């Protein structure tokens, strides 16, 4: 996301805040390390007078994340962010939140397509879903209390891409996709580049509201495996997570609680609102899976992935600020 914003000259200053160092090279973005509750954000907003906050650090994958950590990152972190944006005299005029379609859940009684105004039809069954619902409740109250601000919430479907790590991407890379016996649900995906483009779109054009984000169409879970060259791993429809637990402990598959409902009933989200706002997708749901499969096959064939970028603060400061560096020369 920061790389995309760097390409836009309208953004004079870009500041990245995170618990981990950047994984890609950044030219104009300043990076500040923070704790997972982002308690320093209020000071940073006052010091820099930023006018836009893009909230992308919500945890949407509960694998290896404790309940306490999940609550601190999602709920407490969002509280601190909204406090910084809404405090008296704050310079912030726009807040963009990267959320997830997990807020809708997945149940047999669900509609074919969830619209942004629809409420979930099933009880909350996982701590991840509960935290995301609480986050959106906080954002909704914040929006009502601050009508002068532009607030955008984007609910993304299952994300696939060469750089992002999700339970589905891990399983497909291992060519072993869990499936609950007797079910072949229809699912949607969003390509990671379209994730960045959607965030950039609502940020640059200042588009307020709640938006579903997913590639067009749905495809059966079995077809996802077929396109990716993965084997289906049948699980018992009764307590499937107990059955798959040994493989999860070995790191062969990932099957967090929020994935159980999805692999039973699937989920469809209506993306008409974002399209009508002017966003143009590059990938359909099937195209997203196909693109991922091709990249995964290439990685297996070559035996290696892309070079891993390592952020080193001293080196970054040298290239950005040293008078010895000749500007405008690549390398």
Query: Which tens digit of pLDDT belongs to each residue from 256-279?
Result: 999 999 999 999 999 999 999 999
Q: What's the confidence (pLDDT) of residue 314? A: 56
Query: Which tens digit of pLDDT belongs to each residue from 92-131?
Result: 999 999 999 999 999 999 999 999 999 998 999 899 999 9
pLDDT above 90: residue 319 = no
Residue 28 belongs to a domain with what CATH number?
3.40.50.720
Euclidean distance between CA atoms 270 and 114, whole angstroms: 6
Q: What's the confidence (pLDDT) of residue 221? A: 98
Decide: 151 and 208 in contact? Cβ < 8 Å.
yes
Query: Which tens digit of pLDDT belongs to each residue from 292-316?
Result: 999 999 888 887 555 555 656 555 6
CA dihedral sign, ordered 159, 68, 116, 8:
negative
As a whole number, mean pLDDT of residues 39-43 equals: 85
Euclidean distance between CA atoms 217 and 209, whole angstroms: 23
The set of residues, in sequence order, having a beta carbon less than 8 Å from that of 131 and lying 6+ positions away, is: 59, 70, 71, 74, 75
Q: What's the confidence (pLDDT) of residue 315? A: 56
CA dihedral sign, ordered 238, 242, 245, 247:
negative
Could you give the 3-state DSSP secondary structure of residue 290?
Answer: helix
Is residue 114 domain-resident?
yes
Is residue 264 domain-resident?
yes
pLDDT above 50: residue 331 = no
Copy the structure tokens of residue 16.
Answer: 């990245």
pLDDT above 90: residue 231 = yes
- CB burial of residue 76 (10 Å; 0-12, 13-18, 19+): middle
Q: What's the confidence (pLDDT) of residue 30? A: 76
In percent, how much of the chain has pLDDT > 70? 90
Is residue 254 domain-resident?
yes
Decide: 212 and 115 in contact? Cβ < 8 Å.
yes
Which band of pLDDT confidence, cut at 50, 70 and 90, is reported for residue 4? confident
Is residue 151 domain-resident?
yes
Top pLDDT among 2 and 246 is at: 246
Euclidean distance between CA atoms 192 and 188, whole angstroms: 13
Top pLDDT among 11 and 317 is at: 11
Domain containing 140 equals 2-321
When mean pLDDT is compared over 2-6, 86-90, 270-274, the highest value belongs to: 270-274
**Residue 213 — φ and ψ, nearest 5°?**
-135, 115
Is residue 59 domain-resident?
yes
Euclidean distance between CA atoms 241 and 257, whole angstroms: 8
pLDDT above 80: residue 78 = yes
Could you give the 3-state DSSP secondary structure of residue 182?
Answer: coil
Is residue 326 domain-resident?
no
Which band of pLDDT confidence, cut at 50, 70 and 90, is reported for residue 238? very high
The set of residues, in sequence order, having a beta carbon less than 8 Å from that of 240 and lying 6+ positions away, is: 178, 180, 255, 260, 263
Copy the structure tokens of residue 114.
Answer: 């969830």
Tell me the CB-side half-sphere exposure of residue 273, using CA atoms within 13 A. 19
As a whole number, mean pLDDT of residues 148-161 equals: 97
Decide: 202 and 152 in contact? Cβ < 8 Å.
yes
Is residue 205 domain-resident?
yes
Top pLDDT among 321 and 189 is at: 189
Euclidean distance between CA atoms 157 and 102, whole angstroms: 8
Which band of pLDDT confidence, cut at 50, 70 and 90, is reported for residue 79? very high
Copy the structure tokens of residue 232.
Answer: 């289906």
Domain total in the chain:
1
As a whole number, mean pLDDT of residues 51-57 equals: 92
End-to-end CA distance of the chain: 22
Which band of pLDDT confidence, cut at 50, 70 and 90, is reported for residue 249? very high
Is residue 331 domain-resident?
no
As a whole number, mean pLDDT of residues 138-160 equals: 97
Query: Which tens digit of pLDDT belongs to each residue from 168-226?
Result: 999 999 999 999 999 999 999 999 999 999 999 999 999 999 999 999 999 999 999 99
Beta bridge partners of 203: none
């Amino acid at each position: 996301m920061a790389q995309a914003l760097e390409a836009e000259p309208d953004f004079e200053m870009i500041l990245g805040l995170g618990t981990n160092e950047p994984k890609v090279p950044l030219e104009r973005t300043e990076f500040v390390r923070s704790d997972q509750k982002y308690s320093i954000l209020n000071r940073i907003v006052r010091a820099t007078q930023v006018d836009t906050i893009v909230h992308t650090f919500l945890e949407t994958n509960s694998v290896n994340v404790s309940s306490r950590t999940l609550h601190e990152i999602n709920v407490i972190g969002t509280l601190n962010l909204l406090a910084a944006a809404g405090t008296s005299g704050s310079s912030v005029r726009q807040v963009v939140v990267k959320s997830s379609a997990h807020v809708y859940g997945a149940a047999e009684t669900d509609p074919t397509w969830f619209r942004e105004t629809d409420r979930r039809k099933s009880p909350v069954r996982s701590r991840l879903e509960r935290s995301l619902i609480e986050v959106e409740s906080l954002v909704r109250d914040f929006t009502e209390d601050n009508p002068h601000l532009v607030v955008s919430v984007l609910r993304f479907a299952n994300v696939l891409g060469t750089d992002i790590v999700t339970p589905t991407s891990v399983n497909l890379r291992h060519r072993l996709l869990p499936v609950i016996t007797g079910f072949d649900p229809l699912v949607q995906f969003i390509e990671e580049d379209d994730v960045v483009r959607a965030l950039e779109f609502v940020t640059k054009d200042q588009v307020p509201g709640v938006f579903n984000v997913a590639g067009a169409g749905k495809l059966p879970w079995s077809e996802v495996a077929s396109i990716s060259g993965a084997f289906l791993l049948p699980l018992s429809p009764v307590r499937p997570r107990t059955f798959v637990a040994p493989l999860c402990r070995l790191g062969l598959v990932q099957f967090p609680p929020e994935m159980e409902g999805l692999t039973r009933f699937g989920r469809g989200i209506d993306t008409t609102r974002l399209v009508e706002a002017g966003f143009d997708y590059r990938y359909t749901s099937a195209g997203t899976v196909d693109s991922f499969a091709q990249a995964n096959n290439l990685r297996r064939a070559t035996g290696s992935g892309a070079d891993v970028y390592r952020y080193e603060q001293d080196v970054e400061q040298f290239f950005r600020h040293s008078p010895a560096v000749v500007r405008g020369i690549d390398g």
